[in-house]
Amino acid sequence: MSITARARPEILALRPYAAAVQVEDTIRLNANEAPWTSGADPHRRPLNRYPEIRPGRLRAALAERFGVPSRRLLVTRGSSEAIDMLIRAFCRAGVDSIVTVSPGFSMYRHYAAIQGAAVRSVASSPDADFIPDIDRLIDACDDNTRLVFLCSPNNPTGTSLTADFIRLVLEARRGRSAVVVDEAYIEFSARESVVGMLDDFDNLIVLRTLSKALAFAGARCGAVLARRPVVDMLDAIQAPYAMSTPVVERVEDALSERWLGEAANRVAEIVAERERVREALGCLPLVQRVWPSDANFLLVRFADVRSVMDATRQAGILLRYFGDDLADCVRISIGSPEENEALLSALGGLCQRSKD
């Protein structure tokens, strides 16, 4: 039995939207499209035509990149769309819940709230590098828990879960919950994707995005990697023509050997910068702790967070403050070497002033 048996019955009963058929070299009078191409349209596939309902070539290219057969991949508008669709598909409003880890990525909670799904949050400890206790995580699930969200590397802490940890959760929730492993930052980590576990676990769903390692956040493109029934179910609820022609063409280009090579070099640079900045921050008296990170950011605890936020803002640098269980902490994205230097210099200046 597929894990889709735990999805909302009305979603399972849905059939994909029946769009006008598209056949090359035909006179297309079946979709109310314009018969002319605008002079403002520079694309390979003319914009007067609807894009493919689902972008076939792009799907194949992403499947190759992420190491799955095409039938196990759905192209999405960033992984945000995937999170939204999964919660809508699996959770009955006012009845079902998701389980996730805190501190964690706030979008899971946001989309759960939109759908009216409850959120059960398992706190992780800074002293355990924010790795949650696996028994508490599994105990937080009950019969109405349809989705468990695990983010690895985790945003905003930067730490990763081991493959064994993820396998144990998949095993414990087999047949009961889908376990969504959000790998938005995996390219910055030495760990491998858990996508290889798809053969063993039909309740595994992996999310990938082009927003981070490929520098394509503005394009809004990501992918769900899952077993066929999950992909087919999401396919039935995703908007027809979700991926626009300009995005499809640009992403196809980004997936060429040349630009993938560039992205790999840039990722290596970011990782080297992350370690350099981590070390430099560790030498500043204002810094109390920098957690190890497998992502393109660092979580840092400061003695006086407010003065850090003020000083960096005055230097024209934006950092991310979350409050709540991270009240003394700031998340710092790794920028270019010059941007990172500007940050270190603003913090160095602040340390100097607090000494004077």
Q: Rule CB under 6 A: which residues touch ligand PLP?
A: 78-80, 105, 151, 155, 182, 184, 209, 211, 217, 222
Phi and psi at 315, nearest 5°, equal: -85, 5
In whole angstroms, the minimum distance from the beta carbon of 267 to ligand PLP comes to 16
Among candidates 270, 280, 295, 289, which has minimal Cα distance to 330? 289
CB nearer to ligand PLP: give 68 or 295: 295
Residue 105 C-beta: closest distance to ligand PLP, Å: 4
Of 351, 313, 319, 323, nearest to 334 (Cα)? 319
CA distance 328 to 317: 18
Which residues, at least 6 apart from 61, have a Cβ–Cβ distance to it below 8 Å?
252, 255
Cβ atoms of 170 and 155 closer than 8 Å = no
Rounded Cα distance, 91 and 97, in Å: 7
Nearest distance from C-beta of residue 74 to ligand PLP, angstroms:
13
Q: How far apart are CA 325 and CA 323, in angstroms?
A: 6
Instruction: Name which of 157 and 340 has its Cβ closer to ligand PLP.
Output: 157
Nearest distance in Å: CB 82, ligand PLP: 8
Determine the residue type at 64: E
Which CB sits closer to ligand PLP, 217 or 283?
217
User: 87 or 151: whose CB is closer to ligand PLP?
Assistant: 151
Closer residue to ligand PLP, CB minimum distance, 51 or 78: 78
Closer of 51 and 104 to ligand PLP (Cβ): 104
For ligand PLP, the closer CB: 2 or 189: 189
CA distance 266 to 81: 26
Give me the least distance between CB of 276 and ligand PLP, in Å please: 22
Token duo for residue 75: 């192209």
Q: How far is the CB of 88 from ligand PLP (least distance, A)?
A: 16
Q: Which residue is nearest to ligand PLP (CB)?
A: 78
- To which H or E segment does residue 235 belong? helix 228-237
Closest to 156 measured CA to CA, from 316, 342, 298, 12:
298
262 vs 51: CA distance, rounded Å: 28
* Smallest gap from residue 260 Cβ to ligand PLP (A): 18
- Which has the closest alpha carbon to 223: 88, 85, 336? 85
Q: How far is the CB of 183 from ligand PLP (least distance, A)?
A: 8
Cβ distance to ligand PLP smaller for residue 82 or 350? 82
Q: Which residue spans within 29-135 are E strands per DSSP? A: 73-76, 97-102, 118-123
